[in-house]
A and B are shown apart, each in its own frame.
Chain A
Amino acid sequence: MAYIKLQKVSLNYPLYLTSSMSIRKALFEFFLFKNKKNNQNKPKHIKALDSISIDLKPGDKLGVMGENGAGKSTLLRVISGIYPPTTGKVKVEGKISSLLDIFFGVNLDATGRENILIRGILIGLSKEQINEIADKIIEFVDIGEFINFPLKTYSTGMKMRLAFAISIYITSDILVLDEWLSVGDKKFVKKAEKALRDRVSGAQIVIYASHSKTQIDRICNKVINLKKGRIVKYNELS
């Protein structure tokens, strides 16, 4: 049974300044100023998440709202297991399909069909599994013969359709989406929302970060508002 449980999760995000990313400087300080206290190589930290607790059961669709820099993407990355939390506990059960960066793993020289294969392999599908879903993806993307052309010949919209389709046609227990439905044109957003509702089975958990309240209202049944890494508001929608 899929579930997500975050208990008082905090994340201190280390900011590496340019000067701390120089090996010349690091070696210099290591050998000559070993005991100096204000060592600039220590990264500065900002509190990106501040004791976040979330409890999601199968069927929950969580909307994450907040201004830029409120910690939405960081939260999604913690849930996806990319960022380890500084304190607190993250428990996630179930196969996650996350779409934080729409163009992840995309190769511009490869064709649309090949990109489906590449991303499928990265996510951990076998070639047979990929072939099974490839036709459905191609049908959804609906770009005709372009599917056999390299991705650099695509318009942004076509690339987005492809990336979106790959992510939602891969069966998973948990789907993590970072606000990019809002980037597409109206027609695509409509189609994507519909596909999302059709594809998302009752039991699946969806986490969707967005600026758009109307979109979240349409997709989600729970909403949190983030501000400076804290949950300032929690709503359950009917």
Chain B
Amino acid sequence: MNNIKVGFDDFLNTLKRPDLWFYLAFFDIRLKYRRSYIGPWWETISTGLIIATLGILWSKIFQMDISIYLPYFAVGFVMWSFISSQINESCEIFYFHQSIILNIQIPYHAFILRLAFKNFLVLLHSILLLIPIIIYSVGLEFIFLFSVIGIFLLFLNLTFLSLVVAIFCLRFHDTKFAVGNIIQVLFFATPIVWMPGLLRGKSWLLEFNPFYHWIHIIREPVISSNIPFFSVTISIASILLLSTLSFYLLGRVKKRIPFWY
């Protein structure tokens, strides 16, 4: 219990200092794209290119109507880009901020939230790409607001998960290769490119994949205008589980982290 409290206090202390993650995340974006005129739109353009080419190609391969397949693939792919960049970058995050960690006392969640917000800002750019696709293919209904809540749930899930990943990657240097690998496998194992209907009854492959639920609660409201309550429940449960796990883990190792460099 004590460990969980230490981790939770670290989280609270981070929330009390929004400059550390909100302001610095904007700063990170600004610096990253300083020397290009279109800035973070580069990422949007490349995502758009992938969605357009692969969306058209795979709709032919799966023999599906493009107006059904394209929005499905586009939403899933954009959310997956957010997930994969957040988890992959969290592998290096504590190395990257080594000089800060060894110099001043600062809550560890600050680095994670800063990264999550940076990736969220990139996501916002890509979401602008999704809006015309959705309007032209399925139409934007009011229920899309539920997807906004879905993105918030995904954000929390990712934040807590990436703290766990970051701690393991710092303690065990070779974890990041495994993480990269797992993320790659999960991209194909999660219904982003393909639709769940193709599984033909083997739905346990989906039900045990939290990433499916996290994407599903965002994709389903805009694509099919209904709210997947089961997936929402799973997503909230995973937030509770991951936050407890990450608080416990951080509380356990917090004093040892400076020695791990």
A residues in contact (CB < 8 Å) with B:
13-14, 16, 21-24, 26, 43, 77, 80-84, 98-101, 103-107, 109-110, 114, 118, 121-124, 126-127
- Majority DSSP secondary structure for residues of B touching A: helix
Using A80-B105, A110-B31 as known contacts, say yes or no to A121 and B172 having CB atoms under 8 A apart: no
- CB-defined contacts of B200 to chain A, threshold 8 Å: none
Is A101 touching B102 in the complex (CB atoms < 8 A)?
A: yes
Flag the segment in B74-82, B134-142, B226-234, B251-259 that touches A.
Answer: B251-259
Q: Assess the B168–A23 pair: CB atoms within 8 A.
A: yes
Given the complex of chains A and B, what is the CA–CA distance between A14 and B260 in angstroms? 9
Which of chain B's residues have a CB closer than 8 A to the CB of A98? 103-104
Tell whether, in the assembled complex, residue B31 and residue A82 are in contact, meaning their CB atoms are under 8 Å apart. Answer: no
On whether the beta carbons of A81 and B172 are closer than 8 Å, the reply is no
One of B18-26, B44-52, B122-130, B240-248 at the interface: B18-26
Q: How far is the CB of B17 from chain A (nearest CB, A)?
A: 7
Choose one: A100, A107, A110, A123; the contact of B102 (CB below 8 Å).
A100
How many residue pairs link A and B with beta carbons under 8 A? The number is: 73
Name, among B19, B103, B173, the residue most crowded by chain A CB atoms within 10 Å (CB to CB): B103
Interface pair B99/A103, CB less than 8 Å apart: yes
Residues of B within 8 A of A21 (CB): 171-174
Contacts of A124 in B (CB 8 A): 17
Q: Return chain B residues, CB-CB under 8 Å to A83.
A: 258-259
The answer to whether B178 has its CB under 8 Å from any CB of chain A is yes
Known pairs A21-B173, A22-B173, A118-B24; A77 contacts B99 (CB<8 A): no
B20's closest neighbor in chain A, by CB?
A121
Q: Does B27 lie at the interface of the complex (its beta carbon under 8 Å from any beta carbon of A)? A: yes
Within the assembled complex, what's the spacing in Å between the Cα atoms of A16 and B102? 17
* Extra contacts besides A82-B102, A121-B20 (16): CB < 8 Å: A14-B256, A16-B259, A16-B260, A21-B171, A21-B173, A22-B172, A80-B104, A98-B103, A100-B103, A101-B99, A101-B102, A104-B100, A104-B103, A105-B100, A118-B27, A121-B24
A157 to chain B, nearest CB (A): 19
B225 near A: Cβ within 8 Å?
no
CB atoms of B19 and A121 under 8 A apart: yes
Closest to B260 in A: A16
Inter-chain contact B175/A23, CB cutoff 8 Å:
yes
Q: How many Å lie between the Cα of A22 and that of B168 in the bound state?
A: 10
Contact partners of A127 in chain B: CB under 8 A: 19
Question: Could you say which residues of chain A place their CB within 8 Å of the CB of B175?
Answer: 23
Report whether A13 and B259 are in contact in the complex, using a CB–CB cutoff of 8 Å: yes
Show 24 residue pairs from A and B whose CB-CB distance is below 8 angstroms, ordered by the A residue: A14-B256, A14-B259, A16-B259, A21-B173, A23-B168, A23-B175, A43-B259, A77-B258, A80-B104, A82-B101, A82-B104, A82-B105, A98-B104, A99-B103, A101-B99, A101-B102, A103-B99, A104-B103, A104-B104, A105-B99, A107-B31, A121-B19, A123-B104, A124-B17
**Cα-based distance from A101 to B103 in the complex (angstroms):** 7
B60 located at the interface, meaning its Cβ lies under 8 Å from any Cβ of chain A in the complex: no
* B102 contacts across to A, CB distance below 8 A: 77, 82, 100-101, 104
* Docked complex Cα distance between A84 and B259 (Å): 10
Interface residue count on the B side (C-beta < 8 Å): 28
Chain B residue numbers with a CB within 8 Å of A43 are 259
With contacts A83-B259, A114-B27 taken as known, whether A24 is within 8 angstroms of B174 at the C-beta atoms is: yes
Among residues of B, the one whose C-beta sits closest to the C-beta of A26 is: B172
Interface residues of B in 206-229 (CB under 8 A from A): none
Q: How far is the CA of A103 from the CA of B31 in the complex (A)?
A: 18
- The contact string, 1 if C-beta is below 8 Å from chain A, for chain B 3-25, is 00000000000000101100110
Q: Which B-chain residue is minimally distant from A130 (CB atoms)?
A: B19
List residues of chain B with CB within 8 A of the CB of A82.
101-105, 258
- Is B106 among interface residues, defined by CB-CB distance under 8 A? yes
Contact with A along B31-61 (1 / 0, CB 8 A): 1001000000000000000000000000000
> Among residues 159 to 198 in chain B, which have CB atoms less than 8 Å away from a CB atom of chain A?
168, 171-175, 178
Q: Smallest CB–CB gap between B12 and chain A, Å?
A: 15
Option from A84, A107, A121 in Cβ contact (under 8 Å) with B255: A84
> B residues within 8 A CB of A23?
168, 172, 174-175, 178
**Nearest B residue (CB) for A109:** B31
Q: CA–CA, A43 to B173, complex, Å?
A: 15
- B36 smallest CB distance to A (angstroms): 12
Docked CA distance A21–B174 (Å) = 8
A21 to B175, CA, bound (A): 9
Query: Which of A14, A23, A83, A121 counts the most chain B CB atoms within 10 A?
Result: A23
